[in-house]
């Protein structure tokens, strides 16, 4: 049985054990706000030792500076999966999302729920930090995109400019985080927003003091990121992806 825990710098050498390789004959692309599946190959041969070393240096510095939190899945003492959360900057058009760091599960450990467990730990941490949503820049292969869709992610109509520039081929999504029981609802999830706005409005109407200023302010303060998801359509187009090599979290 796999064990899951937060990682520290001493665990990072274990990244060399992860087989990140992947192949897919098809990839997703976003066109006019819709996800479409194309006959376009994706292949990733796995990171080389040098590429892992460069990730280890990056994560080691980030853990030291407290800007990233990492979680790992272990089979015995072997690291077989990793996920992460960047906690230094808010992302998204409303600057209220935290970006997912890496999410790699060794090929031999995919589909018994390893990725789901790692995502759950990441999601819980982001929620505990009071974040409205997770930002996900997903490799466009069906396995990865469908993993995130299944977890509840939705296509973002407005990707984060910086993250989009880093990974233009990725599918940029958001995962709304459910509010804690202890949350007051002010910065909570999708459903907290209308409830707060409606109760403020009701209060103002019943007191006969409704003005544009007063009714608008609470809504602006909790403005919701617009998310879109439409059924996929298939188009024919064969393009070969370049090998992703250590840019972003390929």
Residue ranges in contact with ligand COA by CB under 6 A: 20, 22, 103-105, 110-116, 138-139, 142-144, 146-147, 150, 249
In whole angstroms, the minimum distance from the beta carbon of 145 to ligand COA comes to 9
Between 26 and 94, whose beta carbon lies closer to ligand COA?
26
In whole angstroms, the minimum distance from the beta carbon of 149 to ligand COA comes to 8
In whole angstroms, the minimum distance from the beta carbon of 31 to ligand COA comes to 20
Between 35 and 105, whose beta carbon lies closer to ligand COA?
105
Residue at token pair 């992806």: 241
Between 141 and 179, whose beta carbon lies closer to ligand COA?
141
Distance CA 249, CA 245 (A): 9
In whole angstroms, the minimum distance from the beta carbon of 126 to ligand COA comes to 16
Residue closest to ligand COA, measured at CB: 115
Backbone dihedral region for residue 172 (phi beyond 0: left; psi -120 to 50: alpha; all else: beta): beta
Between 100 and 222, whose beta carbon lies closer to ligand COA?
100
Between 112 and 186, whose beta carbon lies closer to ligand COA?
112
Distance CA 200, CA 6 (A): 40
Between 143 and 218, whose beta carbon lies closer to ligand COA?
143
Q: Are 187 and 132 in contact (CB under 8 A)?
A: yes
In whole angstroms, the minimum distance from the beta carbon of 189 to ligand COA comes to 22
In whole angstroms, the minimum distance from the beta carbon of 154 to ligand COA comes to 15
Between 136 and 179, whose beta carbon lies closer to ligand COA?
136
In whole angstroms, the minimum distance from the beta carbon of 201 to ligand COA comes to 40
């Amino acid at each position: 049985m796999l064990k899951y825990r937060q990682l520290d710098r001493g665990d990072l050498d274990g990244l060399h054990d992860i087989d990140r390789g992947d192949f897919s004959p098809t990839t997703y692309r976003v066109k006019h706000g819709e996800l479409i599946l194309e006959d376009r190959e994706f292949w990733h041969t796995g990171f080389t030792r040098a590429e892992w070393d460069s990730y280890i240096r990056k994560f080691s510095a980030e853990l030291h500076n407290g800007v990233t939190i990492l979680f790992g899945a272990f089979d015995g003492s072997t690291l077989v999966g990793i996920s992460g959360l960047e906690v230094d900057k808010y992302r998204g058009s409303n600057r209220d999302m935290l970006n997912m760091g890496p999410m790699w599960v060794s090929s031999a450990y995919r589909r018994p729920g390893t990725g789901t467990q790692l995502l759950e730990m990441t999601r819980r941490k982001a929620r505990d930090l009071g974040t409205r949503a997770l930002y996900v820049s997903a490799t466009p292969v069906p396995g990865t995109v469908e993993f995130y869709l299944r977890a509840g992610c939705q296509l973002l109509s407005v990707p984060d400019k910086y993250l989009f520039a880093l990974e233009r081929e990725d599918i940029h999504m958001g995962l709304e985080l459910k509010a804690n029981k202890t949350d007051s609802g002010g910065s909570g999830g999708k459903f907290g927003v209308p409830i707060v706005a409606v109760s403020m409005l009701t209060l103002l109407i019943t007191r006969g003091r409704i003005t544009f200023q007063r009714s608008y302010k609470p809504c602006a303060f909790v403005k919701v990121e617009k998310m879109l998801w439409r059924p996929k359509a298939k188009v024919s187009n064969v393009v070969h992806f370049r090998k992703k090599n250590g840019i972003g979290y390929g």
